[in-house]
């Protein structure tokens, strides 16, 4: 057991780079930045290295700030869950004041970098932080509808890249927004299924029916189908300059079939193992969809 002196020393220590990455959830932040960059590459006929740099730095800062504020607000609940109890705040390795300063600096720097691209990009970035911290985070302990609310800031990054190039919002970034919006339901419900016990300990209400059951599995499958349908929407040529070739459409349908396969398996077996497989399948799906869009634009359109 740690002595009082040891505990105090641990808490007052300067945050390490590892703690910074944990506070900002580096892997999640990088995946979000990847989405933003994919949206930019999809919109831009030529690429501006400075815009790419600002989008990377601003995107990471905005997501990192959201995650840091989230962990400040949920420090006591994180301490109850095995998955999160070793994070910098609940473990005592970082002061709340230090985390707040980091979150505030990230917010300001993120706003600066995104504003340097164009004002609308910065506006969407700030809206994303507000919705995630002030709406999604407190609702997680109140209602399963928190996932619906959280899907809004979660879907902004993909369209953010398009807005970074065009400076305006239209049907093209709207479709990109919808793809990532609907994708989040099967993805996060699969995570909620895996971590049901941990979430129950912390009082989080993440699953649509409140538990890992047949009805939740059905909704996961239902929203997976919506995600696939919206992903191929650009093939109709009714989505402005965001288009998809026949080859791209076939590839996306094959990827969608893989997503549905794991959704059906979860509905059939209803185990944490199947939920974990669906989580990885959903990550692979959204990543490959973004890559296919960009490659399809370069090669076939």
Q: What is the pLDDT of residues 115-136, one digit of tens each?
A: 999 999 999 999 999 999 999 9
Question: Interior CA angle at 278 toward 160 and 192, to 5°?
Answer: 80
- Is-contact 24 59, C-beta < 8 A? no
Helix (H, G, I), strand (E, B) or coil at 286: helix
When pLDDT is cut at 50, 70 and 90, the band that residue 2 belongs to is very low
Start-to-end C-alpha separation, the chain: 64
Q: Pick from 159, 158, 149, 214: which is nearest to 188 by CA?
A: 149
When pLDDT is cut at 50, 70 and 90, the band that residue 12 belongs to is very low
Q: Pick from 163, 298, 178, 168: which is nearest to 244 by CA?
A: 298
Q: Note the pLDDT of residue 1.
A: 39
Q: Pick from 151, 61, 155, 166: which is nearest to 119 by CA?
A: 166
Q: Tens digit of pLDDT for each residue in 31-50?
A: 999 999 999 999 999 999 99
Q: What is the DSSP letter of 87?
A: S
Alpha carbon of residue 166 to chain centroid: 23
Q: Note the pLDDT of residue 13.
A: 53
- Is-contact 212 275, C-beta < 8 A? yes
> C-alpha distances in angstroms, 167 versus 40, 51, 114, 172, 284?
11, 12, 11, 12, 29
Across residues 231-239, what is the average pLDDT?
A: 96
* Boundaries of every domain in the chain: 1-169, 170-301
Across residues 198-226, what is the average pLDDT?
A: 96
- Is-contact 41 47, C-beta < 8 A? yes
How far apart are alpha carbons 120 and 156 in whole angstroms? 12
On the question of pLDDT at 10 being above 90, the answer is: no
By residue count, the chain amounts to: 301
**Could you give phi then psi for residue 14, rounded to 5 degrees?**
-65, 130
Q: What is the CATH number of domain 1-169?
A: 1.10.357.140
* Residue linked to tokens 């969809």: 289
Q: Note the pLDDT of residue 11.
A: 53
pTM over 0.75: yes
> C-alpha distances in angstroms, 43 versus 35, 54, 229?
13, 16, 21
């Amino acid at each position: 057991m740690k002595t009082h002196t040891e505990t105090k020393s641990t808490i007052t220590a300067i945050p390490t780079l590892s703690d910074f990455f944990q506070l900002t959830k580096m892997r999640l932040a990088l995946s979000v930045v990847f989405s933003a960059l994919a949206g930019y590459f999809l919109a831009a006929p030529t690429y501006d290295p400075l815009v790419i740099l600002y989008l990377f730095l601003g995107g990471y800062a905005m997501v990192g700030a959201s995650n840091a504020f989230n962990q400040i607000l949920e420090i006591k609940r994180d301490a109850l869950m095995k998955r999160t109890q070793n994070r910098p705040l609940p473990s005592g390795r970082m002061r709340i004041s230090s985390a707040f300063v980091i979150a505030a600096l990230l917010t300001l720097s993120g706003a600066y970098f995104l504003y340097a691209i164009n004002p609308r990009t910065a506006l969407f970035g700030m809206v994303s932080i507000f919705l995630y911290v002030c709406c999604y985070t407190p609702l997680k302990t109140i209602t399963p509808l928190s996932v619906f609310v959280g899907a809004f800031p979660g879907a902004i990054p993909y369209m953010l890249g398009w807005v970074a190039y065009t400076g305006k919002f239209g049907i093209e970034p709207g479709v990109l927004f919808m793809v990532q919006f609907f994708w989040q339901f099967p993805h996060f419900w699969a995570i909620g299924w895996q971590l049901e016990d941990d979430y129950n300990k912390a009082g989080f209400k993440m699953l649509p029916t409140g538990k890992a059951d047949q009805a939740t599995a059905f909704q996961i499958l239902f929203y997976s189908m919506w995600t696939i349908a919206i992903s191929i929407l650009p093939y109709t040529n009714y989505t402005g300059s965001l288009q998809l070739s026949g080859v791209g459409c076939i590839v996306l349908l094959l990827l969608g079939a893989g997503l549905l396969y794991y959704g059906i398996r979860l509905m059939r077996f209803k185990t944490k193992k199947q939920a974990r497989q669906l989580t990885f399948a959903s990550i692979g799906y959204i990543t490959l969809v973004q890559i296919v869009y960009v490659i399809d634009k370069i090669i076939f359109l």
